A and B are shown apart, each in its own frame.
Chain A
Amino acid sequence: MSATWSKAAFPALGSTAVVVVEEPAVAEAVALLRAELDAIDRACSRFRADSELSWANASAGRVLRVSRLFATAVGVALRAAERTGGAVDPTVESALVALGYDRDFASVRAEAAGAVRGRPAAGWRTVTLDARHRLLRLDPGTRLDLGATAKALAADRAAAAIAAATGSPTLVSLGGDVATAGPVPAGGWTVHVTDDHRAGPDAPGQRIALRGGALATSSTSVRRWRRGGRTVHHIVDPSTGEPASRAWRTVSVTAASCVDANTASTAAIVRGADAPAWLESFGLPARLVDPAGAVVRVGAWPRDAA
């Protein structure tokens, strides 16, 4: 039996959502994906005044009983912080705002005259979560941004839900954070790894076959803006509040889940020069591109086709 594939794409979460399934499943897949994205946005958006995240940020110092989804999202972010030694930290909201990323990125001014200074993150240990009872408390002054992990979490959840409901091999991509679930197609899932997920198929990069699991790419070449005569970007070093150093322009990582892949790719950008050894320590296949375009492969990442 040979499958006919269907691919649907639409704007979501300030990026692009893509789902690939066998053709009969596409309508149900799109509905499930939209439902998941809507739920994640209502829970985790820092640009919606009615989101749980905005409510939590405005309620620092109090104990809040939150939804199961938001508790899961915060728990995922805290585990990412723990597993990266704080390189990926959910308390960078104030740092991003200080750098000028204080609204939906489409509305951020590309250039402004005022100088900006980094503001170190409060630190993930200022967040207390009782996951079992869904109780959350932020220390006074702590504000959350779940941008580093919530999109990947949504990709994992949506892919799992779609595959469970339809039985189809499933790929979900949210702004280039790719999660797969269900049977693996013969030959795997073909993914074009590049600097910008919006780039066309001829953009510099590499094609690989993903055989289950997930893939995420983080890059300092997107979501950039200028303040006070300098270029800043959205991947912040929590320890300084400044944009992460430019040791790597783009890092792609495969992992068991999209959350783990995205956590690792973001942490690699923040960690800089020691990122290859750090990724190797987890056995994560990865591709790192330096600012000049030189590629470093880690672990079982495949070589470029000749």
Chain B
Amino acid sequence: MTGPVQRMTRRAPHDAAVVRRDHGLRRLRRATAIAAVTAAVSVGGVTGLTAATKPGHASSAGTSPPAGTDDSPGGILQAPAAAPTAPQHSPSGDDDGQAPQPAHSASAPHPQPAPSPPPVSSGGS
């Protein structure tokens, strides 16, 4: 079974292989304004359907899925490796990223604690 296919050609200058592929696709598009191919594929148990690609969209961009977004079937929602805790520093906030100053003797140097990162909010959006 065949049908119209629209190929996209998105330039990726940093990737010579992609550029070569895209040049090939452009030649194909010039030769056949509308090309028809059969994709011998299996989609959910349905085989032999035609696959179309969208013009102007990359088909090979992207990176590996992050943790928790793997392709494993089924599975569960994964709990964090470490549970959240109550903040250890002042709840008044330190939006400028500066560490709270500990009380100490002027004559006895103490190592500065690492400053806390500035807080962020999590709420509905």
Contacts and interface: CB of A to CB of B under 8 A. Distances in A.
B13 interface: no
Given A213-B81, A255-B80, A257-B69, A303 B122 contact: no
Classify the interface of chain A: helix, strand, loop or mixed: mixed
B123 A186 contact: no
Interface string A218-241: 111111000000000000000000
B41 A130 contact: yes
Interface stretch (A94-102, A106-114, A115-123, A196-204): A196-204
B121 to A, nearest CB: 5
A63 B51 contact: yes
A2 B115 contact: yes
Given A65-B51, A191-B120, A201-B119, A39 B76 contact: no
Contacts of B76: 83, 282
B33 to A, nearest CB: 19
A7 interface: yes
Contact of A66 (B49, B59, B77): B59
B106 interface: no
Interface in A34-55: 39, 42-43, 50, 52, 55
Given A5-B97, A260-B68, A300-B83, A135 B39 contact: yes
B115 A282 contact: no
A192 B124 contact: no
Classify the interface of chain B: helix, strand, loop or mixed: loop
B23 interface: no
B91 A207 contact: yes
Interface in A265-306: 282-285, 299-305
Contact of B68 (A39, A52, A70, A256): A256
Nearest to A42: B57
Nearest to A179: B66
B113 interface: yes
Contact of A260 (B58, B71, B73, B78): B78
A209 B124 contact: no
Contacts of A250: 123-124
Interface residues of B, number: 63
Contact of B112 (A2, A16, A153, A217): A2
A62 interface: yes
Given A5-B118, A62-B52, A215-B122, A68 B62 contact: yes
Interface in A237-257: 250, 252, 254-257
28 contacts: A18-B120, A43-B57, A55-B57, A63-B52, A65-B39, A65-B53, A66-B54, A67-B58, A68-B58, A69-B62, A72-B69, A82-B74, A133-B51, A171-B120, A176-B125, A185-B114, A186-B113, A187-B87, A190-B87, A192-B120, A194-B123, A211-B85, A212-B80, A214-B68, A215-B122, A255-B78, A299-B79, A302-B85
Given A171-B120, A217-B122, 16 more contacts: A3-B117, A43-B57, A65-B39, A65-B51, A72-B62, A153-B66, A190-B93, A190-B119, A190-B120, A191-B120, A215-B122, A258-B68, A263-B77, A282-B78, A283-B79, A302-B84
Interface of A: 1-7, 15-16, 18, 20, 39, 42-43, 50, 52, 55, 59, 62-70, 72, 75-76, 79, 82-83, 128-131, 133-135, 137, 151, 153, 156-157, 159-161, 169, 171, 173-179, 184-199, 201, 203, 205, 207-223, 250, 252, 254-260, 263-264, 282-285, 299-305
Interface of B: 3, 39, 41-44, 46, 49-54, 56-63, 65-69, 71, 73-89, 91, 93, 95, 97, 99, 112-125
